[in-house]
Amino acid sequence: MFLSLIVFLPLAGAAVIAIFARSHPEVAKGIALLTTLLTFAFSLFLYFGFQDTASMQFEERVPWIPSLGISYHLAIDGISLFLVLLTTFFGPICILAAWNSIQKNVPGFMIAFLFLQTGMLGVFCSLDMVLFYVFWEAMLIPMYFLIGIWGGEKRIYAAIKFVLYTMAGGALMLVAILALYVINGKITGNYTFNLLTIQQNMSQLGLSVRVEMFLFLAFFLSFAIKVPLFPFHTWLPDAHVEAPTVGSVILAGVLLKMGTYGMLRFCIPLFPTATFSAVPWISVLAIIGIIYGALVAMVQPDLKKLVAYSSVSHLGFVVLGLFALNSQGIQGGILQMVNHGLSTGALFLIVGMIYERRHTRLIADFGGLAKRMPIFATIFMIITFSSIGLPGLNGFVGEFLVLTGAFLSHKIYAVFAAIGVILAAVYMLWMFQRVVFGKLENPVNATLQDLSIREIALLVPVLLFIIFIGVYPHPFLSRMEASVEHLIQTVHQPVKIQSTVRLQEHRTNPATASLDGPSLSATIENADKLAFNE
């Protein structure tokens, strides 16, 4: 029951606050901090107890609604391990970041945040599709309140937009889940929502090319909205700008990774033939997101909006790596999820700290801060370098692996994606130069105080991981390697078999050969090429 303890400990902390500390803000803060620290401490046992194998570990399975084939099924592998750790890592950091900045209804804020943490952890650990969907939708409630109650001037608009986008995607996912349940039950006689069982049965289901593609798209669109992948990104800048600092940190640090994780856990292993067929247009969308996000970020006058659009660009790299469908690309994509969480989460913390002092996020209102805030400027510089992928820091390792995987998959993808690396250096360094260097012309900035002990304590753990991953990424890559190799094998092997069989069938039937034959031939060719690159 170790995973259950980690998943539901934050919810238990929220219940304690609701019962005993609803009228005591300081007590609520203390309970929330203690809860998140314990959750992170327990989650460390997952890393040290994890075996470098592809099997699901720390598995828990209890019948929930047996008549419908629904079970309470939790487990993790090398793909989900670091996303669980990232979620628990940001827990105490977010509570400390909100310590002084949240003044209105502090107990309510702590309850909402802890509820949200349970929802995110549940998504990364669930192997029953109904349970996954419950956690996926449950996290909407606290995130809506975090933005809608403690957000900025247009918080209601941003909160409703976030919920509508995510619910639309969730509806598509639910339809696909029910379709898989019915199809699997009719063919095998086993009506179950168990993800692993359905994945093992996919070769027996005999899905047509169209049905597989429709199911793939239903899942993919749901996850693409959450990432968000271009052109489904429009909710993200509004949510980031209007959310409180802690909301932006947890949104960028963890919540967006639910979309890319869903692609890895559902889209790619369940629908390999559709995945190979979709690789070209998904890669194009990812590259458009990389370049578009960077160009729009470059012209933003608002610090927070600049960081928000940088997320669109960076997460384009993640999607590009995942759909390279080779070990370099997928490992780079998973590592880049962690890297983006660390660097962009820290950037939102930095923006929040300067906003608390100046009550403005406009870049034009700053300049020369290094003279008054040298510690702030130094930490800001390291995080900026991390975000642009400077060698020796975490961003370089992830981007290098993603570009390597993209190059092995299709050279032109890597060429265009590399433009995003250059643009990231332009907009991030230009922003940093305008905020930190130059003359201290604004007299208000001359009175600013450097970072406090609490603020330094927030950022130091993030900095340590930024440097550690950049210098020595092996402990991270070694844990995910077996799971990634198993995923690649799961995708490559059946797609060539299925496509070859279907192509032979279509060649014997001229009426359908003209419709599906060429696309199937291309699928086989892509699978052979990627397998050769492996």
**Residue 90 near residue 254, CB atoms below 8 Å:** yes
**Residue 179 near residue 213, CB atoms below 8 Å:** no
pLDDT of the residue at 188: 86
**pLDDT greater than 90 at residue 261:** yes
Q: In the numeric block, which tokens belong to residue 387?
A: 């975000």
**Residue 18 near residue 28, CB atoms below 8 Å:** no
Q: What is the CA angle 321-326-330, rounded to 5?
A: 40
CA nearest to 290, candidates 333, 331, 258: 333
In angstroms, rounded to a whole number, what is the distance separating the alpha carbons of residues 398 and 340? Answer: 9
Q: How far is CA 301 from CA 2, 89, 134, 365, 434, in A?
A: 46, 31, 39, 10, 11
Q: In the numeric block, which tokens belong to residue 114?
A: 């802890």
Q: How far is CA 398 from CA 250, 251, 264, 387, 450, in A?
A: 20, 20, 17, 11, 32
In angstroms, rounded to a whole number, what is the distance separating the alpha carbons of residues 46 and 71? Answer: 22
Reported as a pLDDT band with limits 50, 70 and 90, residue 444 is confident
Q: How far is CA 297 from CA 48, 419, 425, in A?
A: 39, 14, 11
Beta-strand runs (E) in 274-328: none
**pLDDT greater than 60 at residue 279:** yes
- Residue 126: strand pairing partners: 74
Q: In the numeric block, which tokens belong to residue 501?
A: 């069989």
Helix or strand or coil: residue 217?
Answer: helix
Q: In the numeric block, which tokens belong to residue 277?
A: 């067929």
pLDDT of the residue at 518: 43
Q: In the numeric block, which tokens belong to residue 451?
A: 């970072």
pLDDT digits (tens, 9 = 90+) for 405-424: 999 888 899 999 999 999 99
pLDDT digits (tens, 9 = 90+) for 169-188: 889 999 999 999 999 988 88
Query: What is the rounded end-to-end Cα distance, in angstroms, of the chain?
Result: 38
**Residue 343 near residue 384, CB atoms below 8 Å:** no
pLDDT digits (tens, 9 = 90+) for 292-337: 999 999 999 999 999 999 989 999 999 999 999 889 999 999 999 9
**Residue 9 near residue 38, CB atoms below 8 Å:** yes
Residue 376 is inside which H or E element, if any? helix 374-387
**Residue 85 near residue 51, CB atoms below 8 Å:** no
Domain ranges in the chain?
Answer: 275-493, 494-533
